[in-house]
Amino acid sequence: MFVSRITRNMSFRPFLISTRGFSISTIRSAAGDAGSTRSGGMSQGDAFSRREEASENLYIKQQEAEKLKLLKEKIRKQKEDLSIDEAAAKQMEESSGKSSGSESS
């Protein structure tokens, strides 16, 4: 009975007992090891961070260039459609002007 009481009490103690083995050195972690952001901005970034940011900037620049290209193409098509519509309107004005002029004669 005494043994079972000790066992039962020990089952609640793992939270109090250190799970780390015996060591004379402390745990060391550098900035960013735990997933935190780095302090100091870009000046403190390593080569990988700078390369990653440059890659992201290049991707964004390419996406914006593609959007600009599509917009310019859309504007060109709209201008073509507008010139066709203007020509059709001009032709309708001329034909209505001739037909209205022949009716009044």
Which residues touch 32 (CB under 8 Å, ≥6 apart)? 38
How many Å apart are CA 39 and CA 74, to the nearest integer?
45
pLDDT tens per residue across span 73-93: 999 999 999 999 999 999 999
pLDDT tens per residue across span 11-70: 555 555 555 566 666 666 666 566 555 555 555 678 999 999 999 999 999 999 999 999
Which DSSP category does 42 fall into?
G
